[in-house]
Chains A and B, each alone.
Chain A
Amino acid sequence: DTVMTQSPDSLAVSLGERATINCKSSQSILYSSDNKNYLAWYQQKPGQPPKLLISWASTRESGVPDRFSGSGSATDFTLTVNSLQAEDVAVYYCQQYYFTPHTFGQGTKLEIK
C-alpha cells in the first residue's frame, strides 16, 4: 500500500499567522501520461464529514478561501493556510487517489495558539 505520512501531527498557530502541513507519499503519485499529481487535501471539523479543499495537489475547490493553497509534486506535498482564522481549526488529511487502496495520511490537528 502507498503510505502517506503527514507532519506534524499537531500544530498551534496564532491567528493571522501561517500554518504549513507536510505530506509525504511512499511512492510517486505523479502520473506521467497527464502530468498530474493525484493528491487531495481534506478538512474535517468535529462532528462533520471531511470536506475537499484541494485536488490535483494544487487546485482549490470552488468556495474554498484563497488563504488555502497546495503545492508539491511526486512524493512531497504541502498545504499552506495563510492568515489563520478561527474557523480553520480542524484536522487536515492528505490523500492519494491514484493507487488502490486510496490511502490517507494520519491527519494533522490545527489549533489556535
Chain B
Amino acid sequence: QVQLVQSGAEVKKPGASVKVSCKVSGYTFTNYYIHWVRQAPGQGLEWMGIINPSGGRASYAQKFQGRVTMTRDTSASTVHLELSSLRSEDTAMYYCTRAPAPIGPFDIWGQGTLVTVSS
C-alpha cells in the first residue's frame, strides 16, 4: 500500500540545522509531488514548500526562504527537508504529504517527525 514513512524525532539546539527524511513506497516516486507541512504544538497547519521528485525542482514559502532546502534521492525514493538556523519557534511536528499535481489535494501523509529546538 501507499506509504510515506518519516525519520525519527530530533532534538536540536538553537542555531543548528535539522534534516528530516520521507521515504515513499507503494507508488512510482516520480509521479507525485511532495509537500512539507508543519504544525507547532496545539496549533494549525503551515505549508512550507513543495518538491517535484521528477526533476528535483523545489519551491518554498516566502517565510522559510533562505532557511529551507528540499531535496530528493530518486534511487532511495526519499525526499529530504533541511531547515537551518533553528529557533524555538521551529519546534513542531513536520509532515511530508503527496499530491498528484503542483496544485492538487494532499491525499497521503507521513506519520510526522517531531523536531524540538531547545537549549
Q: Which residues of A contact B (CB under 8 A)?
A: 38, 40, 42, 49-52, 55-56, 61, 93, 95, 97-98, 100-107
Contact B106 A93 (CB under 8 A): no
Which residues of chain A come closer than 8 Å to B37, judged between CB atoms?
Answer: 50
CB < 8 Å neighbour of B45 from A38, A51, A61, A95: A95
> Is B44's CB under 8 angstroms from A106's CB?
yes
B105 touches A40 (CB 8 A): yes
Tell yes or no: B26 within 8 A of A by CB: no
Contact: A52 with B106, CB < 8 Å?
yes
Query: What CA separation (Å) do A93 and B108 show in the bound complex?
Result: 15
Write 26 A-B pairs (CB below 8 A) sorted by A numbering. Answer: A42-B106, A49-B95, A49-B110, A50-B37, A50-B45, A50-B97, A50-B109, A52-B105, A55-B104, A56-B105, A61-B107, A93-B45, A95-B45, A95-B105, A97-B103, A97-B104, A97-B105, A97-B106, A98-B103, A101-B62, A101-B63, A102-B47, A104-B44, A104-B45, A104-B46, A107-B45
A40 and B59: CB pair below 8 A?
no
Q: How far is the CA of A50 from the CA of B94 in the complex (A)?
A: 12
In the docked arrangement, what's the CA distance between A95 and B109, Å?
Answer: 15
Q: In the assembled complex, how far is the CB of residue A96 from the closest CB belonging to chain B, in whole angstroms?
A: 10
B105 & A55 in contact (Cβ 8 Å cutoff): yes
Q: How far is the CB of B81 from chain A (nearest CB, A)?
A: 15
Lowest 8 CB-CB distances: which A-B pairs, in order? A55-B105, A49-B109, A104-B45, A40-B105, A101-B61, A102-B47, A101-B47, A107-B44
Chain A residues with CB under 8 Å of B62's CB are 101
Of chain A, the residue at the smallest CB distance from B35 is A102
Asked if B7 is at the interface of the complex by the 8 Å CB criterion, the answer is: no
Quick one: which of B47, B97, B108 contacts A103, CB cutoff 8 A? B47
A95 partner residues in chain B, CB cutoff 8 A: 45, 105-106
